[in-house]
Amino acid sequence: MAAPLLFLTLLAITCSVAWASDPSPLQDFCVADPNSPVKVNGLVCKDPKLVEAKDFFGSGLNVAAQITNPVGSQVTPVNVVQIPGLNTLGISLARIDFAPWGINAPHTHPRASEILTVLEGTLLVGFVTSNPENRLITKTLNKGDVFVFPVGLIHFQQNIGYGPAVALAALSSQNPGVVTIANAVFGSKPDISTDILAKAFQTDPAIIANIQAKF
């Protein structure tokens, strides 16, 4: 391989690794300006002279969320939407409240790894490796235990106790995103064809239509 071509190949590989997560800040901070009409990969910086302490502040994570959904959990996010000062810093947080036997349904974060700490209760947690192995890695966590979910992999949590449970999740992106598998597959707008899903799940189209109706 010619030297210039080799250099460009190595540069492309290096850049692909360097750009695999949130971009690093090039100044002390870049507080998000959600009202800016300019569209960028992320959010436009607010004028530094107008930045205040409230741009870096959030509250309320001591308050348990009301759980009214059928899965039995509620996520309270703390990302760049709630704290504009997180813009370009590559971190965010979430509190997860669980009803007894509630689940945080299988989902992925396309832009972040996650480290979860159990604050109260007992959780069964796990993630599934990518194709072709699809290996389930799972563990029971108690108060004070910590578990890591690698970026992009399907993962879940279940409260296996008889009382409420609480966990705190830290994520490696200001905007990690979330794709809940059941919602995405069965609740897409418009619907994925029942024939496609029936073949994928090796079941009858009528069963797929019944599931889609729940979403």
Element (H, E) at 155: strand 154-159
Contacts 24+ apart (CB under 8 A), 33-38: 33/84, 34/81, 34/84
**Segment 109-123 mean pLDDT:** 97
CA 171 to CA 149: how far, in whole Å? Answer: 10
Give the pLDDT band (50/70/90) at residue 22: confident
pTM (2 d.p.): 0.85
Which residues are known binding-site members?
A: 104, 107, 109, 114, 155
Give the pLDDT band (50/70/90) at residue 6: very low
Element (H, E) at 5: helix 3-18
Q: Is 116 exposed, middle or buried (0-12, 13-18, 19+ CB in 10 A)?
A: buried
pLDDT of residue 127: 98
Which residues are known binding-site members for oxalate?
A: 104, 109, 114
Which residues are known binding-site members for Mn(2+)?
A: 107, 109, 114, 155
User: Could you report the per-residue pLDDT of 25-71, keeping only the tens digit for each?
Assistant: 788 999 999 888 888 888 899 999 999 999 999 999 999 999 999 99
Are β-strands 92-98 and 73-78 bridged in parallel, bridged antiparallel, or unpaired?
Answer: antiparallel
Hey, what domains does the chain have and what are their CATH numbers? 22-57+70-175 (2.60.120.10), 178-214 (no CATH)
